[in-house]
Structure formats: C-alpha cells, structure tokens
Amino acid sequence: MVMTCAQDWRPYLQYGDQSWKRLSDPVGRRDIGLFLIIQILKHDPAVYTVRPRRLIFHRRGRLTLVPRTQAFADDVVEILFESIVARRLTSQHVLLEQLLNADQHEHVSTVSPLLDGLPFVRSTETGRVQVEQLDLLDKRLEVLTSASRASLHLYALSCS
C-alpha cells in the first residue's frame, strides 16, 4: 500500500479488513502498527494533518467555531503513546521525530497540541527537532508527563 501511493489509509489505520489492529498478539500489534505508521508518514506526511480550532467572525457580528480537522492524527498519536510505554524502545524515536517535525511538510499544518512542550530542542541551524533513541529513553517519563498535562489542559478547554 505504501509503495503504491494509496489514497485511503482508513482500511489500514482503522479497524478495516487490512488493518494491523486485527492481530491477536498485543505486542506484535503494537510493533507492526509502529512500523506501519512510520512508513506511511515517510511517503504520505499529509496522513498526519492537524489544523487547530478557530473562530470565524461574520459580518453580522456572529461567531462560528470551526472544529479542528485532521486526517488520521488521532490514530498516529495513539500509536505513538501505545508504543512509547513498551519495555524496550525500538523505533519510537523515529515516529516522535517525524511528528515533532510535521510542520516542515507543505501539506501538514501543525504539530499535535499533545506534543507541545516536550523536552526536545529545535535546531537553530536546520529548524528541525532531532530525537535519538537514548535521548527518548532518558526523557520518556517527561514526554508522558508533558503529554498528560497537555491532554488535561485540552480537556479543560473543551469543557469550558
């Protein structure tokens, strides 16, 4: 599917006939999902499209809240967090680096708000965030703590 430049990833990323989610082994399902999403994002970064909510002002003084749009951003972030808690890290740093640099692609508008404030620094020379496997291993708890705080903040905003 990746090699043929498929237009619809839904059967693979969600619970479709070709979905990796149909595997019965949870560890295998996690590992294959991680590998699959890394390959998909390499070839089709628009799969991870997130556009934040915004207000539109109308001439008559009315406000309209336009919901955030996304391709499969929630599925991608779900795969990241399912795999980042694994006992042994394999290529989770590759996926995290892809997501933190998603705004570098022309069809992707922003990084997920859950990834704001992670303990990785953007290079002033390249403008990219580089995540090494050992660096992620050292900062894994910080990543999870930061993402948990962000999710609580987003939940509080959605309730107000």
Does 27 fall in a domain?
yes
Q: Is residue 25 part of a domain?
A: yes
Q: Comparing C-alpha atoms, which of 62, 8, 9, 13 is closest to residue 34?
A: 13
Domain membership of residue 157 (yes or no) is no
Q: Is residue 126 part of a domain?
A: yes
Per-residue model confidence as pLDDT tens digits over 55-91: 555 556 665 554 444 557 778 888 899 999 999 999 9
CA 127 to CA 93: how far, in whole Å? 18
Residue 132 forms part of a structural domain: yes
Q: Total structural domains in the chain?
A: 1
For residue 101, count other CB atoms closer than 10 A to its CB. 19
The confidence band for 18, taking pLDDT boundaries of 50, 70 and 90, is: low
Please classify residue 75 by burial: count the beta carbons closer than 10 Å to its beta carbon, then call 0-12 exposed, 13-18 middle and 19+ buried: buried
Q: Write out the residue range of the structural domain in which residue 136 sits.
A: 12-147
Residue 65 C-beta-side C-alpha neighbours within 13 Å? 5
- How many CB atoms sit inside 10 A of residue 8's CB? 9
Strands 63-66 and 54-57: antiparallel
* DSSP single-letter state for residue 56: E
In a domain, 33, yes or no: yes
Tens-digit pLDDT profile for residues 81-138: 999 999 999 999 999 999 998 876 654 556 678 888 899 999 999 989 999 999 999 9
Domain membership of residue 4 (yes or no) is no
User: Which residues of 1-160 form beta strands (DSSP E)?
Assistant: 50-51, 54-57, 63-66, 69-70
Section 26-48 average pLDDT: 83
The predicted pLDDT at position 147 comes to 92
Does the residue 5 lie in any domain? no
